[in-house]
């Protein structure tokens, strides 16, 4: 077969690569404004209401592995097509460094299964350098993004409460659900040790925001994506409505290899490989928006080499791929004897915690590390799946009163009863913290390797610094204080220095951002403050790549707000004829 590139005949106003948070938002806003859009997605189509794809409300016994995470990384019913590794699409790591990269390839990307924790960055979060001298400030501040956070709140819906905490801005909140039992215990305990807990802020509809989406019916399964659209998935909430305008052509199973440029160095479209027929295609567009997720977009840019852009596209600063950073993460579990022998009731609630702890020590300058973390909690009488009831003998040793004259372990009716008695008495917590972006932490093109589509792959090079390790140590102290405050018993040994205090590998928290950061100075940043490439005026990146620093807040609400802001700006510039 001769090599040939098939050209799609339509010339689009905008070609958007990736349909996750950033791409979905850009598609929705620009389609509403009447632009003709090609939305190009590497994975298959997905709609949580499609019964063939639905996993919501399935029982563990509907899966032959009872929900185990062998095929899908977060369990058999989780709604991510992809994982830490994808067949035929490898990535590599520089020796002595760690990075785990989670990809989900499907319409909606990782927003189909994400945790729905929807936090605004606060005023401090955009200007951390002003306070601790580390990293860089964003070129914009909270007031620039605030109107877009407001719009995102109203369009998508997020529950929460007005708290007036200086760096945790309030928004347009739907009413929160009441806390669960263990959350009430935690609230009571943490208040005794000076750690705050407030209702969580999740993009789940406790009330409706429009007629197309129903309210949450409390099955706790947002990670499976909601078939009545009661939570935010880009697929159901942004991509579907964008397509309904008639202005969007959706290309699925279309793996973009590079951005094409014309003789003036301007973007003129993309090349993609159709995974179904294996052929190469070209889409022409006046504007290209990358939203393939921070590392994928950096990869596309670095692979888009030409005589006018020898380092890759939009990379005259040589910053593409650098300043990669993820949230820090560490966790601890506990067993709470008071929660044994619980009365049964349906405690599913929404698909996430009903309360959380925002960072509470912004004013403390003597911590030995610079940036904060928030704490997420889990527990309750959830649906059993693979792993449930493991190591009952271990719980026996913590609650010997259960055994009477029996010994730990065992079998028979006694064991059955013990499992029943322990149900709902374990809980856990995890810190999610801000790391300091550094140029050395990066992804670059591996000079030795291509994926099965022949596209050069990413090589990661990422190390934590003492800052992050000290922060994890502090998290562990906080966890112990919290566990003690509720009269619970921490499980396992307290992670110490030898394990970096349980600090997870970079990438593990799946908040990777910063690879195409924005800035006022074109020599030290890739994008301007509107997510527009300094070097190429008709090229935008609207995923987490644009972040200068990732606060201790999960990134997606900010990705969404910035993608909307960039889309408004782009539309204005096109109207003015500047693009």
Partner 1 sequence: MDRRESLKTLIIGGAGTTMLLSCRIDDKPDTVGISENIESDFDYGRTPEEERWDENLMSEQFYTENELATMAILADIIIPGQGDYPPASKTGITDFIEFISKDIPEHQTPMRGGLRWLRTESHKRFDKDFTEISSEEQLKIVEDIAYPMDVKPQFSQAAIFFSRLRNLVTTGYFTSKPGIEFLGYMGNKPNVWDGVPQDVLDEHGLAYDEKMLKVAIKPEERNEIEDWNDYIV
Ligand X SMILES: Cc1cc2nc3c(=O)[nH]c(=O)nc-3n(C[C@H](O)[C@H](O)[C@H](O)COP(=O)(O)OP(=O)(O)OC[C@H]3O[C@@H](n4cnc5c(N)ncnc54)[C@H](O)[C@@H]3O)c2cc1C
> Hey, which residues between 76 and 115 contact ligand X (CB under 6 A)?
102, 104-106, 109-111, 113-115
When the beta carbons of 289 and 333 are compared against ligand X, the nearer one is 289
- The two tokens of residue 99 are 């990075």
- The two tokens of residue 519 are 């800035």
- Using CB under 8 A, which residues numbered 32 to 71 contact partner 1? 44, 49-68, 70-71
Minimum separation from the CB atom of position 280 to partner 1 (A): 23
List 293, 425, 516, 525, residue binding ligand X (CB under 6 A): 293
Minimum separation from the CB atom of position 141 to partner 1 (A): 17
* Cα 358 from Cα 161, distance rounded (Å): 13
210 touching partner 1, by CB under 8 A: yes
- The two tokens of residue 302 are 């670095």
> Which residue do the tokens 């909140």 mark?
173
Q: Among 398, 385, 449, which Cα is nearest to 426's?
A: 398
75 touching partner 1, by CB under 8 A: no
Helix 21-32 / helix 556-576 crossing angle, nearest 10 deg: 40
Q: Identify whether the C-beta of residue 236 lies closer than 8 Å to the C-beta of residue 108.
A: yes
Q: Return the SS3 of 533.
A: strand
Minimum separation from the CB atom of position 18 to ligand X (A): 3
List 14, 15, 16, 17, residue binding ligand X (CB under 6 A): 17
**Interface with partner 1 by CB under 8 A: which range of 3-11, 220-228, 463-471, 568-576?**
220-228
Minimum separation from the CB atom of position 456 to ligand X (A): 12
- Using CB under 6 A, which residues numbered 315 to 354 contact ligand X? none
Partner interacting with residue 3 (select from partner 1, ligand X, none; CB below 5-8 Å by kind): none
175 touching partner 1, by CB under 8 A: yes
* Count of positions on this chain that bind partner 1 (CB under 8 A): 102
344 touching partner 1, by CB under 8 A: yes
List 16, 21, 375, 472, residue binding ligand X (CB under 6 A): 21
When the beta carbons of 94 and 408 are compared against partner 1, the nearer one is 408
192 touching partner 1, by CB under 8 A: no
Give the chain's radius of gyration (CA, Å).
Answer: 24
220 touching partner 1, by CB under 8 A: yes
- Using CB under 6 A, which residues numbered 520 to 579 contact ligand X? 543-544, 554-556, 559
408 touching partner 1, by CB under 8 A: yes
- Using CB under 8 A, which residues numbered 520 to 549 contact partner 1? none
* Cα 354 from Cα 336, distance rounded (Å): 19
38 touching ligand X, by CB under 6 A: no
- Using CB under 8 A, which residues numbered 347 to 386 contact partner 1? 347-350, 381-386
Q: Identify whether the C-beta of residue 511 lies closer than 8 Å to the C-beta of residue 555.
A: yes
When the beta carbons of 178 and 449 are compared against partner 1, the nearer one is 178
Site map 208..247 versus ligand X, x via CB under 6 A: ----------------------------------------
Q: Identify whether the C-beta of residue 235 lies closer than 8 Å to the C-beta of residue 19.
A: yes
Q: Residue 443 forms beta bridges with which residues? A: 460
- The two tokens of residue 170 are 């309030």
In DSSP notation, 320-337 reads: TTTT-B--EEEEEEEE-G
When the beta carbons of 76 and 529 are compared against partner 1, the nearer one is 76
Q: Return the SS3 of 447.
A: strand
When the beta carbons of 303 and 461 are compared against ligand X, the nearer one is 303
**Interface with partner 1 by CB under 8 A: which range of 217-225, 304-312, 446-454, 567-575?**
217-225
113 touching partner 1, by CB under 8 A: no
Q: Angle 484-365-475 (CA atoms, 0-180°, nearest 5)?
A: 30
Partner interacting with residue 41 (select from ligand X, partner 1, none; CB below 5-8 Å by kind): ligand X
Partner interacting with residue 181 (select from partner 1, ligand X, none; CB below 5-8 Å by kind): partner 1
Q: Among 387, 389, 458, which Cα is nearest to 419's?
A: 389
Q: Identify whether the C-beta of residue 203 lies closer than 8 Å to the C-beta of residue 116.
A: yes
Minimum separation from the CB atom of position 497 to ligand X (A): 28
Q: Per residue, what are the HEC states of 15-84?
A: EEECCCHHHHHHHHHHHHCCCCEEEECCCCCCCCCCCCCCCCCCCHHHCCCCCCCCCCCCCCCCCCCEEC
Those residues whose C-beta lies under 8 Å from the C-beta of residue 399, and which sit 6 or more positions away, are 335, 337, 340, 422
- Using CB under 8 A, which residues numbered 417 to 456 contact partner 1? 419-420, 423
- Using CB under 6 A, which residues numbered 246 to 265 contact ligand X? 254-256
List 296, 315, 471, 476, residue binding ligand X (CB under 6 A): 296
Minimum separation from the CB atom of position 352 to partner 1 (A): 13
208 touching partner 1, by CB under 8 A: yes
* Cα 54 from Cα 50, distance rounded (Å): 6
Phi then psi for residue 369, to 5 deg, are: -145, 160
* Count of positions on this chain that bind ligand X (CB under 6 A): 40
Pairing of strands 426-433, 254-261: unpaired
- CA neighbours closer than 13 Å in the CB half-sphere of residue 467: 18
23 touching ligand X, by CB under 6 A: yes
The count of residues in the chain is 579
- Nearest residue to ligand X, using CB? 20
Q: Identify whether the C-beta of residue 71 lies closer than 8 Å to the C-beta of residue 65.
A: yes
Binding interface with ligand X (CB under 6 A) = 17-23, 40-43, 74, 102, 104-106, 109-111, 113-117, 254-256, 291-293, 296, 300, 510-511, 543-544, 554-556, 559
């Amino acid at each position: 077969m001769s090599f040939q590139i098939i050209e799609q005949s339509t010339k689009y106003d905008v070609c958007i690569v990736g349909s996750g948070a950033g791409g979905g938002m850009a598609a929705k806003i620009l389609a509403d404004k009447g632009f003709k859009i090609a939305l190009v997605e590497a994975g298959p189509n997905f709609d949580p209401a499609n019964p063939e794809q639905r996993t919501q409300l399935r029982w563990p016994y509907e899966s032959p592995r009872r929900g185990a995470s062998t095929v899908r990384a977060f369990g058999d019913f989780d709604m991510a097509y992809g994982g830490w590794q994808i067949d035929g699409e490898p990535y590599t790591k520089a020796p002595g460094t760690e990075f785990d990269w989670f990809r989900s390839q499907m319409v909606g990307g990782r927003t189909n299964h994400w945790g729905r924790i929807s936090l605004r960055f606060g005023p401090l979060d955009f200007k951390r350098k002003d306070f601790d001298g580390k990293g860089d400030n964003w070129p914009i501040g909270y007031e620039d993004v605030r109107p877009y956070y407001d719009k995102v709140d109203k369009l998508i819906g997020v529950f929460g409460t007005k708290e007036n905490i200086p760096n945790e801005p309030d928004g347009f909140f739907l009413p929160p659900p009441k806390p669960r039992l263990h959350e009430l215990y935690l609230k009571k305990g943490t208040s005794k040790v000076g750690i705050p807990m407030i209702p969580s802020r999740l993009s789940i509809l406790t009330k409706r925001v429009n007629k197309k989406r129903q309210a949450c019916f409390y099955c706790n399964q947002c990670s499976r994506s909601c078939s009545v659209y009661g939570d935010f998935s880009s697929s159901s909430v942004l991509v579907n409505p964008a397509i309904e305008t008639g202005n969007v052509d959706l290309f699925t199973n279309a793996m973009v290899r590079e951005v094409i440029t014309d003789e003036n160095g301007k973007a003129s479209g993309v090349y993609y490989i159709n995974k179904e027929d294996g052929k190469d295609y070209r889409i022409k567009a006046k504007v290209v928006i990358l939203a393939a997720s921070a590392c994928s977009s950096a990869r596309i840019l670095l692979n888009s080499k030409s005589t006018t852009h020898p380092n890759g596209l939009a990379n005259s600063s040589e910053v593409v791929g650098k300043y990669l950073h993820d949230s820090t993460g560490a966790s601890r579990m506990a067993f709470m004897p008071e929660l044994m022998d619980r009365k049964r009731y349906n405690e599913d609630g929404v698909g996430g915690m009903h309360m959380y702890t925002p960072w509470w020590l912004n004013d403390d300058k003597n911590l030995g590390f610079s940036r904060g973390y928030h704490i997420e909690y889990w527990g309750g009488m959830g649906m059993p799946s693979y792993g449930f009831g493991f190591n009952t003998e271990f719980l026996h040793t913590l609650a010997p009163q259960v055994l009477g004259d029996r010994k730990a372990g065992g079998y028979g009716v006694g064991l059955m009863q013990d499992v029943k008695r322990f149900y709902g008495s374990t809980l856990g917590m995890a810190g999610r913290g801000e790391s300091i972006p550094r140029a050395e932490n990066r992804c670059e093109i591996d000079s030795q390797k291509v994926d099965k589509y022949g596209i050069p792959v990413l090589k990661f090079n990422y190390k934590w610094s003492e800052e992050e390790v000290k922060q994890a140590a502090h998290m562990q102290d906080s966890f112990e204080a919290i566990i003690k405050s509720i009269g619970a018993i921490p499980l396992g040994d307290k992670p110490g220095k030898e394990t970096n205090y349980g600090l997870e590998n970079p990438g593990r928290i799946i908040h990777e951002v910063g690879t195409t950061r924005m800035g006022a100075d074109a020599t030290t940043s890739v994008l301007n403050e509107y997510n527009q490439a300094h070097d190429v005026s008709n090229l935008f990146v609207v995923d987490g790549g644009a972040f200068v620093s990732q606060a201790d807040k999960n990134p997606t609400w900010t990705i969404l707000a910035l993608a909307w802001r960039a889309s408004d700006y782009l539309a204005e510039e096109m109207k003015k004829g500047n693009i």
